[in-house]
Every structure is written in structure tokens, then in C-alpha cells.
Amino acid sequence: MKVAIASGKGGTGKTVVSTSLAWLLAQDGHQVTYVDADVEEPNGHLLLRPELTEERRFSVLVPALRGNSCSGCGECQKACEFNAIVALADRVMVFAELCHSCGGCLLACPDEELIEGPREIGTLAAGFANGESKMAFRSGTLDVGEARATPLIAGLLKDVPGDGIVLVDAPPGTSCSAMEAVRDADLTLLVTEPTAFGLHDLRQTVEMCRTLGRSMAAVINRSDLGPDRVRSYLEGEHIPILAEIPFMREVATAYAHGQIVAAASAPFRDLMATVASHLLQEVKS
Ligand code: SF4
Ligand code: SF4
């Protein structure tokens, strides 16, 4: 079973919830893979402190001229929907950051002058969290300055073994990269907070999940810090609320010290146990 943990905005506690759930389920004897797909700012490793067994660079394919026989006909430029290739008099200029690796320009070139070559955009890592053999760890890290996180997330998720429980810590927001992370999830767990910003971004995330046809459940973090608007909205949308986590100083302290919060705080652990139990019901159903 694959569960994506998502949020409309950063800072809602998504990584605290996902790392705690991963730890709790592994402690309970389940085979768990935690996947940090928040590739622009991965931080699950700060809490899980994994022992890495593999790190490798990840590349996408971008076009380049094969030789010196380009006629400058411009067919490749016309074929590119992303303005990533420009034909000059006798050569082309490729803007690799804009290229979506679709291969359209190669097909369009009448003289087969274009070839594809690799371009590194990030790093994929694999290992085990906290030495827990039952908790596998995967993460992706996008290179600084890279614009397109989606191919790296797709590459990260492609390599994740399908057995056991896979928890995907998704990027915040509703961009292409967030959609890529929740696209194949059996359930999307929305982590939100009762603020005007939280509600605004939650609405967009719910819309994204509906567009993708994903089932949803929610956790309200810092539930006592604002009015009931988020709860009312979720109830109105018939999205089950699996836990409401009040502000707890011990949670903030554990997080500040880089600890797995469920391991450090018994009240938080109990709330996460309720969420984990719901996830396990999903596995059985
Ligand atoms: S591979 Fe696709 S996106 Fe990249 S330059 Fe060619 S047509 Fe444009
Ligand atoms: S389509 Fe081929 S020949 Fe024409 S400009 Fe592009 S690379 Fe050159």
C-alpha cells in the first residue's frame, strides 16, 4: 500500500507526521519504506538519520547536435512546445533547463541531426533509517538551481519496492511535483492546520486529489491554535479526520532536537497510533 502525506503549504508538520508514522509502523513489525519526495528541500533524514547504502546521480535526456550538418531548417524549434530549442543558421541552441525530454525535436528533425544525451539534475539515495532493517529509506535531492523536480520524483518512486507499506512524504503545494508524488497513492493523508492560510491551501490540495481521483483522509495539526473552519470544511467535504493534534511543547522540543517525534512524545505517539491503525485498515480492505 502506498500512502502519500501531503500538505497545501510548507510548515504544517507533514514530515513530523510521516516520519513518526513510518517509525511507529516499523516498531509494530510492518515492512515500511519512507520516501522523501520533497526533493527541493528534503529533511526527513534529519529526523530518521538513515544509514545510506546507495547514492547515485540522476539524469534526464536532453537533445544535442550529432555533428556539423544541421541545415538550420527550424523543424525542431517548431516541434518544441516548451521553447527549449532554437534553430540558428547552421546549428541549434538547447535551453536544457526548459527541456521536458519529450523527444519531439528528434522526431521532427528531417536529417536525424539530433541525439539525446544525459543531463544530471539531482541525487537519489537509499538505505535504512536508524538501523531499522524494517524501515527502508529513500530520498531524492534536486540540484540547486534546477527548475524541474518532476522527473526526479518520478525516478525516485519508480525504484521503490512495491511490497509493504510505502509512505511518500510529498512536496507541499499543488504543482506538477506534488501531483507526481500523490498520483499513484492508494490514500493521500492531508496534513493541515486551522489557519486562514491552511484552509486556503487545503482547498487547493483537495481539488488536486479529486482531479487525480485519489482518496483522502486528514490530520489537523496544532488543532487548538485557530477556529474550527478547517474541521468544518473537511466534514463538509466528507474527508475523514484521523487525528487532531493540539499544540504540545514536547513535540516542538523533539522536532527542534531532530528526534522522531512519536518516539519522544507518548501523547503524540498515541495520536499517530490512531492514524496508523486507520492506514492498516486500508491495507486490509
Ligand atoms: S526533447 Fe522535447 S522539450 Fe526537449 S527540446 Fe526537444 S522537443 Fe523540446
Ligand atoms: S530540425 Fe534538425 S536540421 Fe533542422 S534545425 Fe533542427 S537540428 Fe537542424
DSSP 109-174: -TT--EEEEEEEEEEEEEEEETT-TTEEEEEEEEPTT----HHHHHHHHHTS-SSSEEEEEPPSSS
- The reply to whether ligand 2 has any atom less than 6 angstroms from the CB of 80 is no
Mutate to test the pocket of ligand 2, among 69, 76, 112 (most ligand atoms within 8 A of CB): 76
Residues 152 and 211 in one domain: yes
- The reply to whether ligand 2 has any atom less than 6 angstroms from the CB of 74 is yes
Residues 221 and 136 in one domain: yes
Q: Confidence band (pLDDT; 50, 70, 90) for 283?
A: low
Q: What is the DSSP string of 159-211?
A: TS-SSSEEEEEPPSSSSHHHHHHHTT-SEEEEEE-SSHHHHHHHHHHHHHHHH
Note the ligand closest to the C-alpha atom of 70.
2
Which residues constitute the domain of residue 97?
A: 61-120
Cell 495520536, located at residue: 271
CA-CA distance, 88 to 34, in Å (whole number)? 47
Is residue 77 in a domain? yes
State how many domains the chain has: 2
Report the percentage of the chain scoring pLDDT > 90.
Answer: 85
Mutate to test the pocket of ligand 2, among 111, 112, 116 (most ligand atoms within 8 A of CB): 111
Note the ligand closest to the C-alpha atom of 94.
1
Q: Confidence band (pLDDT; 50, 70, 90) for 162?
A: confident
∠ CA 267-36-172, rounded to 5°? 80
Note the ligand closest to the C-alpha atom of 72.
2
Is residue 56 in a domain? no
For residue 252, which of 267, 232, 239, 234 has the smallest C-alpha distance?
Answer: 267
Mutate to test the pocket of ligand 1, among 95, 98, 105, 150 (most ligand atoms within 8 A of CB): 105
- Nearest CA owner, ligand 2 atom 4: 73
CA of 239 relative to ligand 2 center, distance in Å: 52
CA-CA distance, 171 to 180, in Å (whole number)? 9
Mutate to test the pocket of ligand 1, among 81, 95, 100, 114 (most ligand atoms within 8 A of CB): 100
pLDDT tens for residues 38-97? 999 999 999 999 999 999 999 999 999 998 889 999 999 999 999 999 999 989 999 999
Residues 114 and 187 in one domain: no
Residues 198 and 255 in one domain: yes
Is the pLDDT at 4 greater than 70? The verdict is yes
Note the ligand closest to the C-alpha atom of 108.
2
What residues contact residue 94 under an 8 Å CB cut-off, 6+ apart? 62, 63, 64, 84, 85
Question: Using CB atoms within 10 A of its CB, is residue 21 exposed (0-12), middle (13-18) or buried (19+)?
Answer: buried
Cell 527542534, located at residue: 256
Residues 153 and 270 in one domain: yes
Residues 144 and 201 in one domain: yes
For residue 121, which of 138, 141, 106, 104 has the smallest C-alpha distance?
Answer: 141
The backbone torsions φ and ψ at residue 197, rounded to the nearest 5 degrees and listed phi first, read -65, -40
Q: Confidence band (pLDDT; 50, 70, 90) for 188?
A: very high
Look at strands 135-142 and 32-36 and give their pairing.
Answer: parallel
Residues 101 and 197 in one domain: no
CA of 94 relative to ligand 2 center, distance in Å: 12
Look at strands 85-87 and 92-94 and give their pairing.
Answer: antiparallel
What residues contact residue 112 under an 8 Å CB cut-off, 6+ apart? 66, 106
Can you tell me which atom of ligand 2 is nearest the CA of 75? 1
> What 3-state class would DSSP assign to 217?
strand
- What are 42's three cell numbers? 528534503
Can you tell me which atom of ligand 2 is nearest the CA of 91? 8
Is the pLDDT at 285 greater than 90? The verdict is no
Is residue 246 in a domain? yes
- The reply to whether ligand 2 has any atom less than 6 angstroms from the CB of 16 is no
pLDDT tens for residues 87-137? 999 899 999 999 999 999 999 999 999 999 999 999 999 999 866 667 999
What predicted TM-score, i.e. pTM, was given to this entire model? 0.91
